[in-house]
């Protein structure tokens, strides 16, 4: 399932350092390294302790974690929506991602120049967000101008409905409000999905901090970003890109020891990967046996046949039933036989909505 998150930010906020740490990341399976698809695209494994349990239980020949992509998008500057800096190239790249990871500088360092002269995380966030809003506004107004006369003249229902939702989008954008903050009916979602609006994409903020703030989990800048993010009902991940860069050079054992010495329980990068996975609305089901234990990514709300199709199209086409047990039950009862004896192994049909942590065997006939 090819979903990707785009890393954005002003120049010199630590965006590239963070991406470089991501590109060296290798979680859980030593034989599943980071892969480069393009110079600025990296595939990263999603940390999941459930895989460790399944590996110890089944002792499989291979272990395959679930993954998704991070894209390092060129730094944005004020005026990008009007072509400043990389301008249109930046905006076209960000339209291609499914979620936005916005890196915000939350540390002071006289040796690292800030493009705006001084550190001010809220100003930085708003520079980027305003540019994205202006880019969406241009598309909205262009489309309204193109169809409004036809809609009003012909009274065509579809055209009138499109104008109505676009005008609501226009009003929101003119009030400096990203489109993700509006609520939409299913019909409205269908109308606007093809415009690929940037401000409709879910967003998460990364507060890039110094080592001391990474350990304490707080500083004056972080609190400002948290307050801002709260208004958008989104998360803030606190991390030091410098620390993450150092961690990326270590093996797993050394990494754990280094974190312990710093007094940090989890790598900020691990937290970011998990939070972005959830931001994209992704969940995990498993297939497990002596040959392979594998995690599969699906979109929350998918039904069993669609999930079977992620493995192979024939599984979806000829779907009959899914044998399902939850990871929590397997963890509790320790093996498949005990799960079955406890009546926790289920047969689910075509309408079953898959749940995070389901362990499945799909029955099919083609």
pLDDT of residue 85: 45
- From start to end of the chain, where are the E strands? 4-8, 35-38, 41-45, 62-64, 67-72, 99-105, 203-208, 236-239, 282-288, 292-299, 319-326, 346-348, 358-364
Quote the pLDDT of residue 210.
Answer: 92
| Cα separation, 105 vs 120, whole angstroms | 8
Q: Are 346 and 323 in contact (CB under 8 A)?
A: yes
Can you give the pLDDT at residue 31?
A: 33
pLDDT digits (tens, 9 = 90+) for 190-232: 999 989 999 999 999 999 999 999 999 889 999 999 999 998 8
CA angle 275, 357, 23 (to 5 degrees): 40
Asked if residue 275 has pLDDT above 80, the reply is: yes
Model pLDDT, residue 34: 38
pLDDT of 25 over the 90 cut:
no
Of 38-52, 155-169, 335-349, give the lowest mean pLDDT range: 38-52
What does the pLDDT look like over 31-59, one tens digit per residue? 333 344 454 788 888 889 999 999 999 99
- For the ranges 212-216, 254-258, 265-269, 327-331, the one whose mean pLDDT is highest: 327-331
Q: What is the mean pLDDT of residues 335-348?
A: 96
Q: CA-CA distances (angstroms) from residue 138 to 81, 144, 181, 319?
A: 9, 10, 19, 45
Please name the residues in contact with 282: beta carbons below 8 A apart, sequence gap of 6 or more: 1, 3, 68, 297, 298, 299, 300
Supply the pTM of this predicted model.
Answer: 0.83
Q: CA distances (Å), 268 to each of 8, 229, 272, in order?
A: 17, 18, 6
């Amino acid at each position: 399932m090819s979903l990707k998150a785009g890393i954005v930010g002003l120049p010199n906020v630590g965006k590239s350092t963070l991406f470089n740490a991501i590109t060296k990341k290798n979680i859980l399976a030593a034989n599943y390294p980071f892969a480069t698809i393009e110079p600025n695209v990296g595939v990263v494994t999603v940390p999941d302790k459930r895989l460790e349990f399944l590996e110890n239980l089944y002792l499989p020949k291979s272990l395959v974690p679930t993954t998704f992509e991070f894209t390092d998008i060129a730094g944005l500057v004020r005026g990008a929506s009007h072509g400043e800096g990389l301008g249109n190239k930046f905006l076209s790249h960000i339209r291609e991602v499914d979620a936005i990871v916005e890196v915000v500088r939350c540390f002071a360092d006289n040796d690292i120049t800030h493009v705006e002269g001084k550190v001010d995380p809220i100003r930085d966030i708003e520079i980027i967000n305003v540019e994205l809003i202006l880019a969406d506004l241009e598309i909205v107004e262009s489309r309204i101008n193109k169809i409004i006369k036809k809609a009003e003249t012909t009274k065509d229902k579809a055209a009138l409905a499109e104008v109505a939702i676009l005008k609501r989008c226009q009003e929101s954008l003119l009030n400096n409000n990203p489109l993700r903050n509006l609520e939409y009916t299913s019909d409205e979602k269908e109308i606007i999905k093809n415009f690929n609006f940037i401000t409709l994409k879910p967003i998460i903020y990364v507060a890039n901090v110094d080592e001391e703030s990474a350990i304490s989990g707080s500083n004056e800048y972080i609190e400002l970003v948290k307050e801002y993010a709260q208004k958008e009902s989104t998360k803030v991940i606190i991390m030091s890109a410098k620390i993450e860069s150092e961690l990326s050079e270590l093996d797993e054992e050394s990494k754990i020891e280094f974190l312990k010495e710093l007094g940090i329980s989890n790598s900020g990068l691990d937290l970011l990967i998990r939070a972005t996975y959830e931001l994209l609305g992704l969940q995990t089901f498993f297939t497990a046996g002596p040959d392979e234990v594998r995690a599969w990514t699906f979109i929350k709300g998918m039904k069993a046949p669609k999930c079977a199709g992620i493995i192979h199209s024939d599984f979806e086409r000829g779907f009959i039933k899914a044998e399902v047990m939850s990871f929590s039950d397997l963890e509790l009862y320790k093996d498949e036989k005990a799960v079955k004896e406890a009546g926790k192994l289920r047969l689910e049909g075509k309408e079953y909505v898959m749940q995070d942590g389901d362990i499945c065997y799909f029955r099919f006939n083609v």
